[in-house]
Amino acid sequence: MKTIKFILFLFISANCFGQSISELINKVDGSGLEVMLKEFSGEISTVVNGSTVTILNRQSHQNDISKDYLVQKLESFGNLSVTSDAYSTNGTNVIATQTGSKNPNEVLVICGHYDTVTNYCADDNATGTVAILEVACVLSQYCFDNTIQYILFDEEEIGLLGSKHYVTNFSSSQNLIGAINLDMMGYDKDQADDAPIHVRDKGNSIALKDDAVSILNTYSTEIGLTPNVVDPGIDASDNYHFWLNGKTAIMISDADGFSDLSPHYHSSNDRVSTLDLPYYYKMVRFFLGLTAKKAVISQTQNCNDLNNPDFELGKKPLIYPNPTDQFVTIDLFDNVYNEASVTIRNSLGVTIFKKPINNLVTKIDLANIKPGLYIITVNNSGKHTSQKLILK
């Protein structure tokens, strides 16, 4: 496995303590989801590695741009170790790991395939891929007892090759809590407003299914879907190799069988315009709630930048207010400042602001920066801490 980068360690504020699943579910951003869907299915252009590109096709032999898009997105969220596992000449899995604060060897896998059979393929499987990106974006801001791995598998369409490689090489030193596979989530053919949950009696998968049903029933107001348990579930997706190896897994899909699939399945007519976006947003909220439940929201008040030992607890730079409409203050406390600086990057990782810090407390005017979501990083004496910054 080749490590791409370990970047943007996230300073997680104390408000993560006691955060409820309901509050997390409500953080799903519909407008952001639609933009990512259009970018990843080639409906609109995007910027990858500083160049304007169109991700029109994600077939395994020509999906380097889509792989780089995924790495770039995941690296921008924070608190994630992002790796690219090139397991064959054409196949590359993208894996982002959010280390658990209490049980780092207890691993929850969140997965879906990003390759396609033709152009666009919005439902199959830009919907699953983008759902994983959205949930990683939200949950990377908080601490969980268990480790979460967000995995985008390659070469599902030509034989489930990416997931086969991953499951075969799963570390014996870790315990797989379960795998939640997402494959096609945005087309409610029968307009039933239900969530098909595919399950088989393998590796305690029935218990994971029960957790999924519980989330839908407990948070019915926030999600708005009813459970539709499919047993035995479809095994023609990446959940298959988990089941084959006796591991806990379910698949969440918009279809309960092949007759329930989008009529645009496996064709270039599978476009964002054919999706039921309100239904899709509900599915993403469901998925986020289930992930948060299984990862277990941390109940420690020392939920601070777990993967960044650079600053002592209690002496990390304080960045406030956040959100802000113009000014942000950086307080270094009693840390000695030496070649200190503040850098602000946009969601594409492009630096849009950089300034030296010459005082323990520095107030910065951001009036010339457009409202949006950014990553702000404070460097001091070779140490750094980063967090998301919302500019209103």
CA distance 212 to 179: 12
The CATH number assigned to the domain holding 371 equals 2.60.40.1220
Is the pTM higher than 0.85? The answer reads no
* Residue 267 and residue 331 share a domain: no
Alpha carbons 343 and 378: distance in angstroms, whole number: 7
Which residues is 72 bridged to in the sheet? none
What single letter denotes the amino acid at residue 5? K
Give the residue numbers spanning the domain of 375: 318-391
Rounded CA separation 379/357 (Å): 9
One-letter amino acid of 76: S
What's the CATH code of the domain at 14?
A: 3.40.630.10
Residue 292: how many other CB atoms lie within 10 Å: 24
Q: Does residue 110 sit in the same domain as residue 257?
A: yes
Task: List the chain pLDDT tens, one digit each, 392 residues.
Answer: 444 433 333 333 333 444 789 999 999 988 889 999 999 999 999 999 889 999 999 997 777 899 999 999 998 887 788 889 999 999 999 999 998 888 889 999 999 999 999 999 999 999 999 999 999 999 988 889 999 999 999 999 999 999 999 999 998 888 999 999 999 999 999 999 999 999 999 999 999 999 999 999 999 999 999 999 999 999 999 999 999 999 999 999 999 999 999 999 999 999 999 999 999 999 999 999 999 999 999 875 444 443 443 444 335 677 888 788 999 988 876 556 677 888 888 766 678 899 998 888 889 999 999 988 887 878 776 666 667 788 88
Q: Do 164 and 37 have their domain in common?
A: yes
235/279 same-domain check: yes
DSSP 168-196: HT--TTSEEEEEEEE---S--TT---EEE
Cβ(197)–Cβ(256) below 8 Å: no
- Six-digit token pair at 354? 């950089």
Same-domain check for residues 288 and 344: no
In the chain, the number of structural domains is: 2
- The count of C-alpha atoms lying within 13 angstroms of the C-alpha of 76, restricted to the half-sphere facing its C-beta, is 23
Helices (H), 245-387: 277-295
- Enter the DSSP assignment of 336: P
